[in-house]
Structure 1
């Protein structure tokens, strides 16, 4: 507090213009930690413990005051200042000297004085003059000085003179015999003590860092072995592989329990002999009974392996030799997911106590991996079931859509047939009548075109009606080669094609211009429906080659492996685009 008072006074004198009384600031700095004096006097042993905890954690002593006493020195100091009827200005400094200007209540009057005390307190702690118990710096002195309008030079000059001023005042007040050789010597002694404490903590921290690095290396190896998708046997083998690294044991075993199945996957690894053994088996009855209530080990970090686990691991116990068999349970969401088993001649509970946090984190990662492997197996099963369901649903939807489409076409075709056939008949008849009355060849040709297009429209309407309400097929013997040969002549005449551009091959005897019918290729079918089918196929092929030098080949042969006839229509034209091909079998 003496150092804070001296620093606050010097800083106030450096302000231009000087807006606060340097002597008032000195008194405010001197009394700012009055609450610590009060708490130390009332609770001496507890306050020694508070100071020790703050030193050990390098934290803010006020946090430990609140934790152990339920209040801190700022509140206690304010209450004492009120009881002593100190001025409002000093009460505010004692209560709020840790707060920066933007965090102060609106009712605080002299904010600049509070800012000077905060800067002085920070400067004294930075130079380790005296003892405050607060090791935390929320803001450093240059930033605080800048807010007050003080330059770096003014701050540096104040800091340089501070040790000397404190030493002189200590001597004037007769406190040098309590300072154990002066303020500077006290700082050196505290620094030495702090260095010893830090060295001890660093030694312990290095040991924990080494353990943490070991577990971290094991987890890195585990992640590389596991991959994104792994089943339970692979996860268990990866656990056994990395457990030896983490636990520093050459021979270890691991097991993982399967969800929704009384089975287990086990892996034994002996790094000394470079051997690995894996197995999957149903759980023995003894192990199933034990798994119903494994509470004796589920909360343990490491424990002696119970008889049920020794029974489970019996095939590989010779590989994990040791006077004692130890179990590290792998727990996920308060449920045993698996475990690590190994042998040791020492008490593993004592050996692993110093790295308990690292081991818990390691086990949590392993438990998550086992749970994920089980979840992925369940997801695969579910995905297969969903895929099958989706296939069935898709087929049902397609059939439903087709049925609805056909129903709509039937309604449309019925209406269209009724509404269109009569006008088309009138158009065709009137065109014929006009043609009979005219002698102009061009007019007669136009009227003939009108008549033929009206017939074409009528045919389309008839096809719609036939498609929507198809008549039952009239089955009769049909000689397919004979029908194809007949249609070939029609197609040649319709499209004015040469014979080389429309080839017909019967029973794979090679292309020919006029094939003789084969009585062996007879089928029971509706002749008119076959004519329509072949006409559509070959019309599509002719459309593909009409702008090229391509040709159409029709092959008629016995169906492979079944009674019937196979007819293939090939062309080397432009083909169908992917969009057209996707909808090639959609009606119309």
Structure 2
């Protein structure tokens, strides 16, 4: 009982000692090659891991801890490597300690001899697994063979002197090493290997094979075939004398040994012959790793330099990403400000507040001049404590100075000139040394100047890109809002002029319509380039947005820009329509195309429409695409005159000598005389602001007109509207 208690106590002490091992030590040469291969092809590293019990056990344990089942990939080391994070793999290899440089000579097995023995068992196990019908997976058998002496490698690492005494005694009396291990340690390397497999979280099938490879009588049953394969492989490797396992009893291949794995003795002898042939390769493969400390030191030094460079790059990238994230937050805030502001002055004030907050500037000021026309300069200033000052400056000198400065190439400039100017208007001294200004321009159109103070040292070269993007967004938004207001005023003035002129066409009216088209063309040309810039920048910012809120804000900017682009295209089509390509076209073909287009405009099928079309109507002499587009606008308007936009709508076609009259009649809300007089003017809509562009009927009138036709409208409030479209027919000779 006392001896049993001593054995139990010794076993616990050994386990406590081994539990402190974080990993198995590795030969310095193998470890150096592993460090060098971390940045190379995975296939090279996989080949090295297959020679190293230390790295292999660490790799499989790491895979299991990360939820990767090695069995799912047939214990393929390459596939397991592919699924591990490269940083985790680097940490694994660098955490393995090199084995001591001084190795004992025979009969004590050196670390290299033990590893060579493990490699020999692994090759045998793979061969046997391939030969056994429904045997274990070959790569699983190889891994089990490579790790079968896991406990012995750990004992040699944790207590080298004790291990040397045990193996010397085993060699002296010709006994298996595990028998003497039990006498001296109270346990053996197989049981300790199972303990380490549990501690390092290896799969159960590997732990069992490591535990039972010296107990074939206990490894019965199909579910323990892997353990018997490792047992037989251990015997074959020892009979070849490859490496040194620390066991010195006589082994021979027998029928009883072959029966353990259900194979013929001749097949075991064939496997032994194969092992004899590759023995030289196994020994030579590790021969260069016996004394490789300089190689390991250089490999670790090189890797450390690489990791340091990588860390510096990641820190730099982190700072850049942080700056971009701040930039995107500002872009999102600017986008929200643009959607909420009603006037350029509100927009300018909100931009000042955001600029001061995100860039931590002190006093900040913006000066904007009217776009494309003379006028006063608007000045808004935000103090350090949140105080505001707004001024309208009618001085032409300051107006010219702002325009000239805004027209300059982008850059952050020392603000001595503007510091002195602001003193005159704000009655507050700005520092010459700490004041900076930058131009605000949309394309080549000058918008204004942004002036700000910095109370801390600033690297302008590093900030200029951030400032440029924000300044372009500010300038473009202000330009578009100011341009929109300016062109809207011009359009309203022209609409007022046209509304005072009777409907019958005369040269004066044609001149005004041409002037209106010219204004529309000018507006379209001015907006096209800025819109392309806004849409493109918004798309780029959305793709690199750090969060969903900022991404949605950037997408809203892009969508709004696309909507304005669509309006610009409509203006261009109105101002400069394509000359019609007339050809004889059946009226039914044109009308059916118009009805389909109207459904697309409304986003629904047109069902409640009655079409009255005589069969003997001659073909229309028109550009069918243009006329169908014009009629689609008229049909859509008819349905939209109902609160539910459901109709009914009636279309009737009548032949009048050389003309066809197409009448579109609804029973909707109707129009009063004032609204009717403006119905076909561009930019006019009786619906709520923001719902329509006001180009529908104006566009239809223009297309019908260039095709040689005309439109007449009759309407009564609450009774409905009738639109007559007269188009030329093909003349019959």
Q: Does the pair score TM above 0.5?
A: no
Between the two structures, name the one with larger relative contact order (CA 8 Å, sep ≥ 6).
2
Structure with higher Rg: it is: 1
TM-score (normalised: structure 1) = 0.36
TM-score (normalised: structure 2) = 0.30
